[in-house]
Structure 1
Amino acid sequence: MKYIFKSLSFCLFLGVTLIACNSDFLNTKPLDKVSGGAVWSDQSLAEAFVTDVYNGIRDGILDQMSLDCQTDNALYSFGKQDVNEANVSPSNTGTVKNTMEWGTVYARIRAANIALANLAKPQFDNATVADRMKGEMYFMRGYFYNQLLRYYGGVPIIKSPYTLDNPDFTIARNTYEECVNAIVSDLDSAAILLKGKNLAAGRATQGAAMALKARVLLYAASDLHDIPTAKAKSSVIASFSKPELLGYVSGDRTARWQKAKDAAKAVMDLNQYGYKLNLTAPVSPAEGQQNYINLYLSRNGGEADGIFLKYYIRASFDDWGSWYPRNNMPNGYHGWTSSQPTQQLVDSYEMMDGTKFDWSNPAHASSPYENRDPRFYASILFDGAQWKPRTPDGAGIDPAGQIQMGEYEVGSSSSPTKFSGLDTRNSTIENWNGTWTGYAIRKFMDPDPTLVDQNIRQEVPSIQIRFTEVVLNYAEACMALGQEEEAKTWLNKIRFRVGMPAITESGAALVTRYQNERNIEMLFEDQRFYDVRRWMTAPTALGSQAKIIIITGKLKPGKTVTTYKYSKENYTYSYSVQDLGTGKENRKWADKIYFLPINRDEMNRNNKLVQNPGY
């Protein structure tokens, strides 16, 4: 449309100065652009338009800053998060990534609407391809509306492209229930149109549409969106004059849980996914760790868990997700350590026998990184963890390729000198980009030892939806319906795959174990931010300061070392858990941030919008 407006303006100018305009000149088509009509009459151009809509998909953890940095799981190294400090407002919406920002997401929705309008009566001669494209666009429209819905609550539902003929561009927010129904309708249409279609990796499929529907219905049944429950837990929601924008003000909540359960089971019954979820006992810890790595790398069978993924190629400089190693590797490898796991997250990993880690237990406190859930070793880089060979400037200092997050003694125990770990903020390699918390991320990091240089990118996909989430959604719905044995059966299949023992609790204790299991299993997959809100556990989970670890290594009497290496034979290690401190980030919770504010510019443009409560 941009070139049309420019051409009109140019012709109007000519009409004033040159009345006898040459009609052939006026009919000249631009040589560097394609008209809308030409796009939809050519199958290849229509395919390119549809493909571009996918570019609005989130990078998730593979972005520089994980959404988990706005939860108790992680800290962002390069600045405070206004959401964490409850400082967001209509004029300061905080670090809202483009894939959640109101106007940007609606631009993608408009593109999907344009595609659906033009594909309703395809102008190219391949109805099968047109139907497949329509299925993809129904899915993407549902995907983008769900992004808005779980961030803002009910939003305006627009299902046709606005044009210059529209007399009024203002529209009110639909109710939460209407939004859920519209998204489910789009996903049902997508599932029908995409059934039996073989699509390239990264494209929407029948399974993706059905799995996203299961997620939408699970959220819809949760505490935050059952307004009677939400009002009892939040005075901000209780005082809001338009609660129907945030959830269900009436209706049968049990029926909503049943719909969520049925939707998840329908995906499970496709029998198209399920990486090693047929186990009846835990595998070994080593196999469990490798199973989990295979899942998030989508390799060696683990791709059978991936329902909808965003892929990257090293050749594309603009693919932010391919820069993940540079963004998140420790500074001792010239990485930025952008998203840093907190001590709260590390403490939430169970011991191998399924018991809770406890700092008051002397055995735990003296060796906090031993005998933990195998997913811990697959997800977190901690002091002493074996990792990749160092780059040339660090290889001589650390020939073992081990993570160094502490302050240690070197030389003789009788006259030691201080050595700062290469992955700390006192590193001799780089000291501006070290971790504040004492941890870095391993999950989603390609273990290829040649991928160390900060200028080398990787091709690990970003998980948008995977089958394990569907199974967890199913288990959660089962628990809500009182079907605890069925829930535990499937939860334990997930745990057996990583080498963890069965969960046996019931009632509130089972719910607590489930919520922790969900966080550990889907760590850094854009789940925690929304889960603690919809469960309404956010005041507890997000209301305290980020905790960090201080590690020191003291040489044992009679020991002498010239080059530091993690060794319990040579060193006595001590660990001190502390609050990060309000100077870095003053975390606190306010009920208004159950839902985020609509930007003031959007409110000014559309006088029919109602702002979220608390703003």
Structure 2
Amino acid sequence: MKYVRLTYIFTLMVLGVSCQSDFLDREPLDKISSSAVYSDQNLAQAFLNKIHDEIPHPLGGYYMTDCVTDNARTKSGWISSQKVIVPGLIGPSNNPIGMWHKYKSIRKANEFIEKVGESSMDESFKKTAVAEARWLRAEFYFELVKRYGDVPLITKAQTINDDFLTPRTPATDVWDFIDSELDEIDDILESKSDILNGKISKEACWALGSRAMLYAKRWEKCVDYSRRVIESGKFEMSPDYGKLFGSYGGDKEVIFEILFDGKANKGQSYDLYNLPWSYRADWGSQTNPTQELVDSYYMANGLPITDAASGYDAKKPYEGRDPRFYASVLYNGAVFKGRAMNTVSPDGPDAINKTGLHSITGYYCRKYLDEKSAIAPKGGESRVSWKMFRLGEMYLNLAEAENELRPASNTVYASVKVIRDRVNMPNIKPGLSQAEMRKELMHERRIELAFEDHRWWDLIRWRKSIEVLDGKYFHGVVVTKNDDGSLNYNMKHVVDNRPLQVFLEKHYLAPIPYSDIQKNENLTQNPGY
């Protein structure tokens, strides 16, 4: 009986395939064929826009990469930042900040470059669209090489006839490729002032080149790219550091940004994940600045709080600080959305550890929160744009590269002066050695670029991660009220309900996914994994 039933089913399958052969040869109704995309300019642009959407940014995730550095912690222990990265458990089968999947994006870019280039579409469109796709491909390779070092360099859309067992290309060749691509396409792309926000411009080429060459330690090239952006005259330092990070797009300091419309299909969820508890976002309070970060902000007179001449008062610890502190961190007494934060334990609405949904450090992240948004936003409703490249970074890149070439030169001081003038901070004191200046520039990047996805990568490229992170617990503040009504600030509260941070030598390079190692016999793993 079983044999008869199986025979009957098989016969139906054969008949079904035979009867529907004409139907199966038709184009799917819910998809657009490759030939259609590359013969229609509007469809080709839509596909290119989809590749744009694959540029990584942190505003849609549970936490910022600062949360795995000395800048911040994540309050939820189940999130991968605390569960995997901080305790040093990154491995070939579990790497929350891996980007190996960007080879799918590179495949799309390669295909677009080839197919559009061969198409009969308008020549002007083809030229610009292909240049944008090459920029995207360069950006994806930057994300790969900064994580993994040597990576396979694939610059064409592979077919079934190609050898898929591609070995790793030396990192120096990948940096060469990124540099040459950006050099070749910058004259093709339009200038920032002539295009809509969110589009790739020639200045975006230079900005990516500035950052990439800084990571590659190609100092002269970094200086060159940085100067091109600065001297283009297309950008100005935004007069208000805080408002810069609340804009929805178009700030005059921003070189390239990712725009959001506040709708589920093109919004981001930063407010949902990071608003303090009393502003009620169910997933909120995830990015909790550390006391170490707070202490690193100088006084407004340019002196560190450890300097006896700084004027720092431990009883009024948040008065008279670098203005960038107030734009980046929410603390007890900070005015946000029209009212003062109350983190006084145990009853303050945003007191440390009041519930499992409150900050574990006593601080909340302010940068990138939208003060104009509604209370308790839903996922995807946030509209603040991601400032991927901005002029302030270009000055810092220029200063760092210049200091490596011409220690503590006038260019270094002048570049930092532009950064500090914006917030009325005095410049770095004169007469520093190269090593002293290097230390000051590291500090300046930490302050100026806090919560902008730089700290983790800066520590790695400086080879400072073991020194700064390994074997450390970081601290927060417990604010209590004294009998006389004055406040007491315990800034030695150890955030020890989260794992001890582990950063080993092997972590300077990320592990290649185990599944890809298994598929490709020519793909070697990074040391230690």
Counterparts of 1:510 and 1:213, CA distance in 2 = 23
1:15/1:73 Cα in 2 relative to 1: closer, same or farther (>3 Å)? same
Asked if 1:267 is matched to 2:223, the reply is no
Q: Choose which of 330, 333, 340 in structure 1 pairs with 2:276.
A: 330
Asked if 1:216 is matched to 2:212, the reply is yes
What is the one-letter code of the residue matched to 2:357?
N
Counterparts of 2:397 and 2:11, CA distance in 1 = 61
Asked if 1:553 is matched to 2:481, the reply is yes
Which residue in 1 is equivalent to 2:7? none
Which residue in 2 is equivalent to 1:118? 115
Asked if 1:351 is matched to 2:299, the reply is yes
Counterparts of 1:598 and 1:294, CA distance in 2 = 39
Q: What secondary structure is seen at the aligned counterpart in 1 of 2:240?
A: helix
| 1:342–1:547 CA contact under 8 A, matched in 2 | yes
Counterparts of 1:573 and 1:30, CA distance in 2 = 67
Which residue in 2 is equivalent to 1:164? 160
Counterparts of 1:127 and 1:173, CA distance in 2 = 35
1:522/1:15 Cα in 2 relative to 1: closer, same or farther (>3 Å)? same
Query: Once the two structures are superposed, what CA deviation does each residue of 1:184-234 show, in whole Å capped at 9, x if it has no partner?
Result: 12222331220348333212111101110111111111xxxxxxxxxxxxx
| 1:341–1:380 CA contact under 8 A, matched in 2 | yes
Counterparts of 1:303 and 1:356, CA distance in 2 = 31
Deviation at 1:553, TM superposition (A): 1.3
Matches within 5 A, 1:203-602: 203-221=199-217, 256-275=218-237, 291-298=240-247, 303-314=251-262, 316-319=263-266, 321=268, 323-335=269-281, 336-358=284-306, 363-389=312-338, 401-407=339-345, 419-424=346-351, 427=354, 431-448=355-372, 451-455=374-378, 457-484=381-408, 485-505=410-430, 506-507=432-433, 508-543=435-470, 544-556=472-484, 570-581=485-496, 583-602=497-516
- Scaled by the length of structure 2, the TM-score of the pair is 0.90
Deviation at 1:375, TM superposition (A): 0.5
Deviation at 1:359, TM superposition (A): 9.5
Deviation at 1:451, TM superposition (A): 2.5
Counterparts of 1:20 and 1:452, CA distance in 2 = 59
Which residue in 2 is equivalent to 1:45? 43
What is the one-letter code of the residue matched to 2:221?
K
Q: What secondary structure is seen at the aligned counterpart in 2 of 1:549?
A: strand
What is the one-letter code of the residue matched to 1:75?
R
Q: What secondary structure is seen at the aligned counterpart in 2 of 1:134?
A: helix
1:453/1:357 Cα in 2 relative to 1: closer, same or farther (>3 Å)? same
Q: What secondary structure is seen at the aligned counterpart in 1 of 2:181?
A: helix
Which residue in 1 is equivalent to 2:3? none
What is the one-letter code of the residue matched to 1:438?
G
What is the one-letter code of the residue matched to 1:598?
I
Q: Which runs of 5+ in 2 are unaligned?
A: 1-9
Q: What secondary structure is seen at the aligned counterpart in 2 of 1:378?
A: helix
Q: What secondary structure is seen at the aligned counterpart in 2 of 1:576?
A: strand
| 2:477–2:489 CA contact under 8 A, matched in 1 | no
Which residue in 2 is equivalent to 1:76? 74
Q: Choose which of 154, 171, 186 in structure 2 pairs with 1:176.
A: 171
- Scaled by the length of structure 1, the TM-score of the pair is 0.78
| 2:352–2:362 CA contact under 8 A, matched in 1 | no
| 1:264–1:470 CA contact under 8 A, matched in 2 | yes
Which residue in 2 is equivalent to 1:137? 133
| 2:511–2:526 CA contact under 8 A, matched in 1 | yes
Which residue in 2 is equivalent to 1:227? none
Q: Choose which of 182, 185, 188 in structure 2 pairs with 1:187.
A: 182
Counterparts of 2:15 and 2:231, CA distance in 1 = 70
Q: Percent identical across equivalent pairs?
A: 31
Moved more, 109-118 or 290-299: 290-299
Number of residues of Structure 1 aligned to a counterpart in Structure 2: 507
Which residue in 2 is equivalent to 1:87? 89
| 1:14–1:21 CA contact under 8 A, matched in 2 | no
Asked if 1:65 is matched to 2:63, the reply is yes
Which residue in 1 is equivalent to 2:105? 108
| 2:248–2:383 CA contact under 8 A, matched in 1 | no
Counterparts of 1:404 and 1:184, CA distance in 2 = 49
Q: Which runs of 5+ in 1 are unaligned?
A: 1-11, 222-255, 277-289, 390-400, 408-418, 557-569
1:553/1:359 Cα in 2 relative to 1: closer, same or farther (>3 Å)? farther
Deviation at 1:550, TM superposition (A): 1.5
Which residue in 1 is equivalent to 2:5? none
Query: Once the two structures are superposed, what CA deviation does each residue of 1:379-436 show, in whole Å capped at 9, x if it has no partner?
Result: 10001111125xxxxxxxxxxx2212222xxxxxxxxxxx511012565xxx231000
Q: What secondary structure is seen at the aligned counterpart in 2 of 1:364?
A: coil
Query: Once the two structures are superposed, what CA deviation does each residue of 1:6-37 show, in whole Å capped at 9, x if it has no partner?
Result: xxxxxx99995479768754543332222111
| 2:475–2:492 CA contact under 8 A, matched in 1 | yes
Counterparts of 2:11 and 2:257, CA distance in 1 = 49
Deviation at 1:355, TM superposition (A): 0.7
Q: What secondary structure is seen at the aligned counterpart in 2 of 1:371?
A: coil
| 1:351–1:357 CA contact under 8 A, matched in 2 | yes
Q: What secondary structure is seen at the aligned counterpart in 2 of 1:577?
A: strand
Counterparts of 2:16 and 2:479, CA distance in 1 = 79
1:330/1:123 Cα in 2 relative to 1: closer, same or farther (>3 Å)? same
Counterparts of 1:19 and 1:150, CA distance in 2 = 50
What is the one-letter code of the residue matched to 1:460?
V
Deviation at 1:62, TM superposition (A): 5.1
What is the one-letter code of the residue matched to 1:187?
L
| 2:291–2:491 CA contact under 8 A, matched in 1 | no
